Each structure stands twice: as structure tokens, then as C-alpha cells.
Structure 1
Amino acid sequence: MTNSQSVLLSVKDLKRHFDVGKGKTLKAVDGLSFDIYKGETFGLVGESGCGKSTAGRTILGLYNKTDGEVVYEGQNVHDMNDKERQHFLKKMQMVFQDPYASLNPRSTVYEIIAEPMEIHKMYKSKKELRERVNELLEDVGLNRDHANRYPHEFSGGQRQRIGIARALALDPEFIIADEPISALDVSVQAQVVMLFQRLQREKGLTYLFIAHDLSMVKYLSDRIGVMYLGHLVELTTSDQLYGKPLHPYTEALLSAIPIPDPDIEESRERILLEGELPSPIDPPSGCVFRTRCPYAMDVCAAQKPAWLEKDEGHFVACHLHDDSIMKEVSSQAEQVHV
């Protein structure tokens, strides 16, 4: 993935804050910036509560932004009029986390998949619409006999396939997949990931894949952004992130991934983070990760780390990789020692 490729979506200093009363603000997303290129899968990972799902919903426009920009093919998503937004929503769709809650239990599978096409008046006849629904069911590994059944008659994996078929109904270019496998059995997760990969090849789709499981994201994503408490702390290619992580938080997440070799698993060193994820209502000053970081320095509390490109396409926000900061810290330590 190179910068010469066409940018489909650009997120610029995106913020989504919530007023929680008594003069307090929950900073769920607090300054995200990244680009997504056409045809790639961009993984967004982090612990539960880091703001990644809120980021996805704000990018789509389900939440209004507090500040920043989301630019899709040159248009600001949050500044669109009704006509522009209707056209935009045909291009960008979402697959939700919970396949049990995201489907209307009172509607048949046919009605669920056909609804967005009926709203946008995409088909001239009921016969044409019925054929399109049948095609979409087959695209996701189901069959036309499933069309007249209700969601409760399906397993979790099958329900998620129905959700994916609904997302494909408007022939989108870009899909936000919000933890689409986290509610599924482990045996089914790999099948759904393979389905996403096949659909991307066949239909030329671009994905924003949101997850907390780094082991699964590795095999699906071209590039990965790591989120912590509303901020992006590292961004690079999948291979680079797993081979040479720079941020201490990324190192800790990777160390938690089990290795299917008992000898290696027993001897490897785990990085255990102390304490809980701080509240986004009252985040730490300076670096938001400093309260759990094993390498925290005084400067981490006083100054927010800069967003640095350490290697080509490998970005990190950490004072440990800021040469000017580390030179100053070293100088101060020498003065104290003298």
C-alpha cells in the first residue's frame, strides 16, 4: 500500500464528544487522522472502550462530529445536503457487531435485504427485486430458500451473512465492519473473514474493519491503526506492525496473542499492563497511555507526543521515538547525575 494509490476516505482530526451532564464531557474520539485507499482493508484495533466503534459510526454519519472532517471522494460527509447524503449512503454501508440485534425479528430475510433497495428505488419490478435478493443470498453463502424465513431461525454466523447481504444491497464501494465477528463462535469467525475477503476480490470493495482481536485483523488488513482512549497511537502495514511494533501499547496487545506452539508460548515474555483503561471523561494529561506505560517519563505527563513517521508509512505517537525529546531527557539525566 503506497501513497500513490487513490485515497477513497480521509479522516482529519476527527472528534466526537458526548455531554454527560454536570459540565463533564466524554471524549470518545479525540483527534483521529488517517487515509483509507481504494481497494484496501484498513484495520482499526484497540481495547473495548477505546472509541473505535464510535469512530466508525461518526465516519458514516450516524453520529454528528464534534470537530474535524470526514472527506469521501472529495466531499465532506457531515456537510452534505439531503440529496448528496442519499447518494453517499449508497456508496458507504455498515455491518454491525451483533447479528442478533441488527436484524428486525419481525421481518423476513427477503424484507430485510430488499428494504434499502426499495427506499432508493433501485429496481423497476418486484420480480427484478426478488432476483436481486436471491443473488445477494447466494453471494454470502446462503440460498434463495432462506428468503422467506425469519432471523430467529438462523445461527449467529448465518445472521451475520444476512447482515452482510443487506450491506451489499446498494452496491457500495466502502463498508465499515464494526467488530463483525466478535459475537460469533470461533469456528465461524474464520468463515466470515474468508467471506469478507472473497467479496472484496469479486466486488472491488474497500473496508474499514474494526476489531479488538489483533490476531484475526492481521490476516485481513493491509494497514492497521491502533487506538487507545480516543487517540491513534500507531499506524502502519500489517506486516510491519506485527514484525516491528513501536508503541508500548501495541507491544502489549501483540504479546497477548496466543501462539499455537506450547514451547514458544511457555517461554515467551508477556507484557502485562497495570491498571484499568482510564475514563474518557477525565483522560490523563500529556500522553493518554502514560498511566499504564512501563516506560513512562516525566515528559509524558507534561506533553502530548507528536505524530511521527519513523519509517516509510510507519507512524507512531510516543516520546520514546521522538529524537528531540529523548535527547532532552538524556541531557537532564546527565545533569542530575553530575
Structure 2
Amino acid sequence: MKEKEKLIEVKNLKKYFSIGKGKVLKAVDDVSFDIYKGETLGLVGESGCGKSTIGRTIIQLYNATSGQVNYDGKDSREKSAVELKKMKRNMQMIFQDPYSSLNPRMTVLEIISEGIGNHEAHLNTKEKEAKVYHLLESVGLNKSHAQRYPHEFSGGQRQRIGIARALAVEPEFIIADEPIAALDVSIQAQIVNLMQELQQKKELTYLFIAHDLSMVKHISDRIAVMYLGAMVELSDSENLYDHPLHPYTQALLSAIPIPDPKIERTRERIILEGDLPNPVDPPSGCRFRTRCPKAMQMCSESVPIWEEVSSNHFVACHLYH
């Protein structure tokens, strides 16, 4: 069996924000994981857990406080200016809000061709336009949409424009930051199916950030679960859903609605008590212990180790050490 090739290596990544009066928000705190070429890694967790911050730090919209992000085997901080420009071209982002992520003063043609102009300056105006028209068709729009402005489109259409913009410079890695969260349920599946089609055609790699666990399972090869700035579990999609190890993962999965009423009535629902702790002053030891139904004395005394407990199944929990 051919070994998977790593595209992104995240090692001990930390991103802290100073919020004044000497206080620090630890949005991402010592997170490590890999993303393999051609796969979709789903990243899930409650709002405020640091999912989006990880994506923005990988793509260098935020500078990491410490740790490293290796792209194609080399630390992004050690790349030359030419290598860095190539890396930024190969990494693109689809944003959560299709309303605020598109410039309202620019036409769709201008929005999509902006990146093409930055990275393919040798193309003339007609060649750029032809490329934009092809991109629009590839995301389910047409040539006539190119001269319109963002406010003339629905939410689903705007997100298609955002996808076309991300594809304009022919990247190999796309960070999708909750790309369906702001869309109607009826449109969400269309966007996810479109992303899967494009992934197969263009051999793309995705980091798919979301809180809808059922949709994440549908699109992801592997899933990583975050809680309060830390990674708590990572495994193959099917394995994580069938055999969740971390109590937090178990609670998240128990909340997913099941279409079969008989199963829904008989299954155990895990209700987490209390609110998400303050990320400025997280609990000692395991950050989840204040809400965990299986918390032990040692959970308050030491931080659980992140390690592989079975084949390709990683977890940070004292129950397994």
C-alpha cells in the first residue's frame, strides 16, 4: 500500500492574542496534526474553540505565536520570497460569510480576475476574461454573471463566486472556513457536493472547518475535534463516528439528529453541563474537565498527552493513558 504524502504539517502551533491589561487569549495552544495530499480533513468544535484561527494561521493571515507550519516538507518561515509567493498561490481560502467576503464595489469579473492578475501577469485582458468565464461555469454559474455585482446574487451564488475566486490561481490546498454556515439548509448540500466534484477534477486538498457534524462526516476523510484551543481527538471519519473515545467527542456525536425515530428515542443523549470556560483563564490540567462526566482527580493536575492510542486514532485524554 502506497504511503500517504503529507502536504501540510502543523507542529506545536500556538496563536495567542493580547487583549489588554496583561491578559492573553490562547486561541490555539500547542496543536499538532498533518494533512495529506488529496484528502479532506474536517475540523470541528464549538464556536470559539480556535478552528478558524488555525486555518487563518496556516494560510498566514495570522502570524503564529510559536510552532511551525510545514508546506511540502519545509517550514513556511524558512521559505524565500519566491517560495513564499508560490506557497500563498497554492493555498487559498473560502470564507464563512459570502456577503462580507466579496467587495461590493467590484464586479464578479474583477473579483475573480484580481488574483489571476497578481499571479499570472503575462495573461492579457481577453485571456483573463476567458479564464473567469470558465471558472464561473465550473461552479455552476454562467458568463452573464461576470458583469454583475455581489448584491445581485443569492447567498448560495455568492459562495459559488467565492469558490471560483479561490480556484482562480489554481491552488492545491483550500481552507474552507465554515463555507456553508451562513447558507440555507437547502443550499448547503449543493455547495458541499460542488466542492467534492471540484476536488476530484482538480486533485484538491481541503481543510474543512465546520460545526455541523453530519455534513463534516459526509465530506471528510478524517476528522479532528477541538475544544478550547486544543486538539482532543483525530481519526478516520467512520472510525470517529463509530468509536469516539474522548468524552467531548461522544457528547458532540450524541447531539446529531437521527432520521429513524426508533433509534432516536432509544439512544443515550449526553448533556454537557455548564458553559464553555473562559479561554483567557482555562481550567488547569484537562480543559474539558469542568464539563466532563468522566472527570477524575488527575484531570485537574496534569494536561493529557496527545498520542496515538490505536491505528491512526489520536486522543488527548487521561482515560486512555
Same fold at TM > 0.5: yes
Cα 1:178–1:134, aligned 2, differ >3 Å: closer, same or farther?
A: same
In 2, distance between residues paired with 1:123 and 1:182?
37
Tell me, what secondary structure is at the counterpart of 1:171?
Answer: coil
Look up the equivalent residue of 2:300 and give its one-letter code: A
Q: Once the 2 structures are TM-superposed, how far is the Cα of residue 279 of structure 1 from its aligned partner? A: 1.2
Aligned to 1:254: 253
Tell me, what secondary structure is at the counterpart of 1:197?
Answer: helix
Cα 1:238–1:265, aligned 2, differ >3 Å: closer, same or farther?
A: same
In 1, distance between residues paired with 2:175 and 2:313?
23
Deviation sequence 1:254-302 (CA, Å, 0-9, x none): 0000001122212221101011111110011100100000010110000
2:184 corresponds to 1:185: yes
In 1, distance between residues paired with 2:152 and 2:66?
43
Q: Once the 2 structures are TM-superposed, how far is the Cα of residue 88 of structure 1 from its aligned partner? A: 1.1
Aligned to 2:196: 197
Deviation sequence 1:180-218 (CA, Å, 0-9, x none): 001000000000000010000000000000011111000
In 1, distance between residues paired with 2:88 and 2:113?
15
Aligned to 1:336: none
Aligned to 2:267: 268
Deviation sequence 1:152-182 (CA, Å, 0-9, x none): 0100000000000000000000000000001
Aligned to 2:45: 46
Q: Once the 2 structures are TM-superposed, how far is the Cα of residue 47 of structure 1 from its aligned partner? A: 0.3
Tell me, what secondary structure is at the counterpart of 2:31?
Answer: strand
Contact conserved, 1:224 with 1:236, CA < 8 A, in 2? yes
Aligned to 1:319: 318
Look up the equivalent residue of 2:228 and give its one-letter code: L
In 1, distance between residues paired with 2:131 and 2:122?
9
Aligned to 2:98: 99
Contact conserved, 1:61 with 1:78, CA < 8 A, in 2? no
Q: Once the 2 structures are TM-superposed, how far is the Cα of residue 244 of structure 1 from its aligned partner? A: 0.3
Larger radius of gyration between Structure 1 and Structure 2: 1
2:21 corresponds to 1:22: yes
2:111 corresponds to 1:135: no
In 2, distance between residues paired with 1:55 and 1:216?
20
Identity across matched positions, percent = 65
The number of equivalent residue pairs is 321
In 1, distance between residues paired with 2:218 and 2:259?
16
Q: Once the 2 structures are TM-superposed, how far is the Cα of residue 135 of structure 1 from its aligned partner? A: 0.4
Contact conserved, 1:227 with 1:234, CA < 8 A, in 2? yes
In 2, distance between residues paired with 1:234 and 1:117?
38
Cα 1:134–1:123, aligned 2, differ >3 Å: closer, same or farther?
A: farther
Contact conserved, 1:65 with 1:78, CA < 8 A, in 2? no
- Superposed CA RMSD in Å reads 1.1
In 2, distance between residues paired with 1:124 and 1:115?
12
Q: How high is the TM-score relative to the length of structure 1?
A: 0.93
Note the residue ranges of structure 1 that are not aligned, 5 or more in a row.
323-338
In 1, distance between residues paired with 2:236 and 2:120?
40
In 2, distance between residues paired with 1:229 and 1:272?
18
Q: Once the 2 structures are TM-superposed, how far is the Cα of residue 123 of structure 1 from its aligned partner? A: 4.3
Aligned to 1:70: 69
Aligned to 1:218: 217
Look up the equivalent residue of 2:199 and give its one-letter code: Q
Aligned to 1:8: 7
In 2, distance between residues paired with 1:138 and 1:122?
23
Tell me, what secondary structure is at the counterpart of 2:28?
Answer: strand
Aligned to 2:149: 150
Contact conserved, 1:123 with 1:129, CA < 8 A, in 2? no
Look up the equivalent residue of 1:267 and give its one-letter code: T
Q: Once the 2 structures are TM-superposed, how far is the Cα of residue 121 of structure 1 from its aligned partner? A: 3.0
